[in-house]
Amino acid sequence: MLKYVFDRTMAFAGLLVFWPVLLVVAILIKIRMPDGPVIFRQRRVGRYGKIFTMYKFRTMIVDHGGSNVSVAGENRITPLGHVLRKYKLDELPELWNVLIGDMSFVGPRPDVPGYADALEGEARDVLRLRPGITGPASLKYANEEEILALVDDPQRYNDEVIFPDKVRINLEYYHNHTFMGDLRLIFATIFRSYESAELPKLK
């Protein structure tokens, strides 16, 4: 209950504080990336497997036809999009998702349906959590796009190395999360006081 109230209160406060930033980013996208919407909408899997629409600022060209994994330096990511991703400004619209209850500030990142469907057995317990803007797996793989840029097959590497490791981390979070722990994760995200992942190897 405390987390639920905290999420909505802080999401509302965040939207009030950051609305000038949201407006400026929206205008920049409209000017620099006119061929497409300002907001990117995508179906994600939320708590208990419920599908919801997640909102982000658009960072890619329209109809790029790419995969579900993003790699640093991709042509489909616009120059402005690179900046927005670097400073996580593309995720500010997710405050709305938190406000309406689809997401939390801290929790597993919401997956697209295909990845969530791959969860089996105990791993499905992570779906009992409300997905988050940040979380322990998100912090570990804060440099995920750079990692994927170093491998020959980003999609395979994501599916066989990064995704299973995220599931492991999220399951550990499910069993051990606390409100104070969530606050520490939020501060670590804001002040980037964490160590990004090194390059694990394919089995």
The domain of 61 spans 2-191
Within a domain: 20: yes
Would residue 75 count as lying in a domain?
yes
Q: What pLDDT is recorded for position 78?
A: 93
The verdict on residue 142 lying in a domain is yes
201 falls within a domain: no
> What's the pLDDT tens digit per position in 123-178?
999 999 999 999 999 999 998 988 998 888 999 999 999 999 999 999 999 999 99
CA distance linking residue 44 with residue 90, whole number of Å: 16
How do residues 77-112 score in pLDDT, each as one tens digit?
999 999 999 889 999 999 999 999 999 999 999 999
Q: What is the pLDDT of residue 198?
A: 73
Q: Is residue 98 part of a domain?
A: yes
* Percent residues over pLDDT 90 in the chain: 73
Within a domain: 198? no
Banded pLDDT at 70 (limits 50, 70, 90): confident
Task: Evaluate whether residue 74 is within a structural domain.
Answer: yes
Total domains, the chain: 1
The answer to whether position 197 is within a domain reads: no
List, for residues 5-39, the tens digit of each pLDDT value. Answer: 999 999 999 999 999 999 999 999 999 999 899 99
Q: What is the pLDDT of residue 13?
A: 97
